[in-house]
Amino acid sequence: MGKIIAIANQKGGVGKTTTAINLSSALGFAGAKVLVVDMDPQGNATSGLGVTLADNDVSIYEVLIGRADAKSTIRPTNVENLDIIPGNINLSAAEVELVTEMSRETKLKKVLRGVCDEYNFVMIDCPPSLGLLTVNSLTAADSVLIPLQCEYYAMEGLGQLLNTISLIKDSLNVDLQLEGILLTMFDPRNNLSKEVQKQVEEYLAESIFDTVIPRNVRLSEAPSFGQSIIEYDIKSKGAASYIELAKEMLARLP
């Protein structure tokens, strides 16, 4: 059964979707079979991997509310070994519609059971909030990867997220683990980046990935072309860093 990893941070603009797209692509490039699940109503992981949805196309929204099964929504991407269950703005409605449902926190967990066996990794791109969509993602996941931006206020909200993860573990998903904290948008010329890195290493040393994602223009450009950094510019520093992160994750596998 594939390992399910939720990529989560309630703060926006920290490199969450960038990590979902490019880590998944790097793992696929390395030969692993990977499925991305786009649980963010913005649908940026979907468009960032070059997938477009017509009005009548099914997405993770239809799966969550019971109108479609997960397998029917899986779409191939241009990256070898990488598929996606797309998401779009309809997910905003799912957050409201699921409120009155029984076992509403476990909807995603149940629908992913039928597809996990076909993949080595399932990466869930969570929305930038701690609402019901993120709770569903954390309940379905084996572990959580937290992208942490190397900028001012980076630590703000991290405690709240770690507390939420602890609550989910206590009440909904006893096996949930912290996959790791990933420092993103690191600029070695910037003292602030170094200070954030120092703080995180001081308090959460055992939870940090060795790989650090640099601030890189090519990483920012790639989504506008509907491509991962592996497709867009594999020789860039951004691509090299996500390939290193993929190697680090593959080395952790039993």
Q: What is the pLDDT of residues 82-91, one digit of tens each?
A: 999 999 999 9
Q: What does the pLDDT look like over 155-209, one tens digit per residue?
A: 777 888 899 999 999 999 999 999 999 999 988 777 777 887 888 787 787 889 9
pLDDT reading at 218 higher than 80: yes
Quickly state the pLDDT bin for 150 (edges 50, 70, 90): confident
Q: Which amino acid is at 24?
A: S
Q: Look up tokens 């476990």; give the residue.
A: 106
Which pLDDT score is estimated for 205? 77
- Indicate if the pLDDT at residue 147 is higher than 80: yes
Whether 135 has a pLDDT exceeding 90, the answer reads: yes
> For residues 71 and 193, what is the distance between their CA atoms, to the nearest angstrom?
42
Looking at the structure of the chain, the number of domains it has is: 1
Given this model, what pLDDT does residue 201 score?
80
- What stretches of 205-254 show up as alpha helix (H) in DSSP? 217-221, 229-232, 237-252
Contact 228, 241 (CB under 8 A): no
pLDDT of 39 over the 80 cut: yes
As a residue count, the chain comes to 254
- C-beta of residue 100 within 8 angstroms of C-beta of residue 252: no
> What's the average model confidence in pLDDT over 86-102?
87
Query: Confidence band (pLDDT; 50, 70, 90) for 252?
Result: confident
Q: What is the pTM of this model?
A: 0.95
Domain that holds residue 75: 3-252
Provide the 3-class DSSP secondary structure of residue 80: coil
Task: Pick the more confident residue, 54 or 221.
Answer: 221
Name which of 118, 125, 139 is nearest 23 in CA terms. Answer: 125
CATH of the domain at 85: 3.40.50.300
pLDDT value of position 95: 82
| pLDDT higher than threshold 80 for residue 254 | no
